[in-house]
Amino acid sequence: MEKKQKKDDQPIVNEEFIDDIEQVEDLAQDLEENQPATDEGKQKTKTRGKKASLERELDDLKNQLKEVEKQKEDYLSMAQRLQADFENYKRRNKNLVADTYLDATCQVVSSFLPVLDNLDRAIASFKELDADEAMLQGVKMIQKQFVDCLEKQGVTEIEALNQPFDPDVHEAVMQVEAEEGQEPDTVVAVLQKGYRTKDRVIRYSMVSVAK
């Protein structure tokens, strides 16, 4: 009797409880089956986030590149302006040096021209007085040496005799009646020789002009 009573005392499993367990197991299985899809979605979301971040960085780099290009153009323009200014400075300085040298040359030559005038007068006087030939040749040699020195400095005599009167290089101090065969406004006599450089008149030729 006691054994039978113990067998009857064992708890009876509730069928509803079993159904609940099965439902939980099914739900767990569903969750397990759906997990890869959820992870894949998270991965896609993460990938999209990285892509957006990279695109922002790329845009920043593009903007920085544009700024660098603009700065490069500004620096290039500044360098070109400085180069042009420097070239202009060198040109002005070169012209200034050339003008200064020419001014100095003209002043020195002008101070020596009276000496050359006296040599010319001495030669003319020797010819008129029929002076000693050796002395005449000696004075001519000095005159030639003087003229050669001037030519080395770029100084030459202004052509005047029998040339059309040119107010740019001639100074008319008197007018005379034109003789037969002479054209009006022609230089018929040189009273004082003129000299010039390539670009500047040092002394105008003093001339007599036919009218």
**Between 133-152 and 15-129, two packed helices, what is the crossing angle to 10 degrees?**
170
- pLDDT confidence bin for 15, thresholds 50/70/90: low
Domains and CATH numbers, the chain: 19-154 (no CATH), 156-211 (2.30.22.10)
Q: What's the helix, strand, coil split of the chain in %, to 5?
A: 70, 15, 20
Reported in sequence order, the residue ranges of the chain that DSSP labels E, i.e. its strands, are: 156-157, 170-176, 187-192, 195-196, 201-203, 205-210
Q: Mean pLDDT across the stretch 163-179? A: 93
- Rounded distance between C-alpha atoms, residue 208 and residue 190, angstroms: 6
pLDDT at residue 10 in the model: 47
Over residues 146-171, the mean pLDDT reads: 94
More confident residue, 45 or 168: 168
Enter the pTM of the model: 0.57
Asked if residue 1 has pLDDT above 70, the reply is no
Give the per-residue pLDDT at 143.
Answer: 93
What mean pLDDT is predicted for residues 121-133? 83
Q: Is the pLDDT of residue 204 over 70?
A: yes
Which amino acid belongs to residue 122? A
Which range is most confident: 61-65, 124-128, 193-197? 193-197
CB 102 within 8 A of CB 194: no
CA–CA distance, 78 with 86 (Å, rounded to integer): 12
pLDDT at 3 over 50: no
Confidence category of residue 5, pLDDT binned at 50, 70, 90: very low
Question: What pLDDT, in 10s, does the model give residues 176-187?
Answer: 998 888 889 999
C-alpha torsion sign, points 155, 160, 161, 162:
positive
pLDDT at 145: 94
Confidence of residue 155 (pLDDT cuts 50, 70, 90): very high
Q: Which residue has the higher pLDDT, 1 or 72?
A: 72
- Which pLDDT belongs to residue 206? 96
The reported pLDDT for the residue numbered 19 is: 59
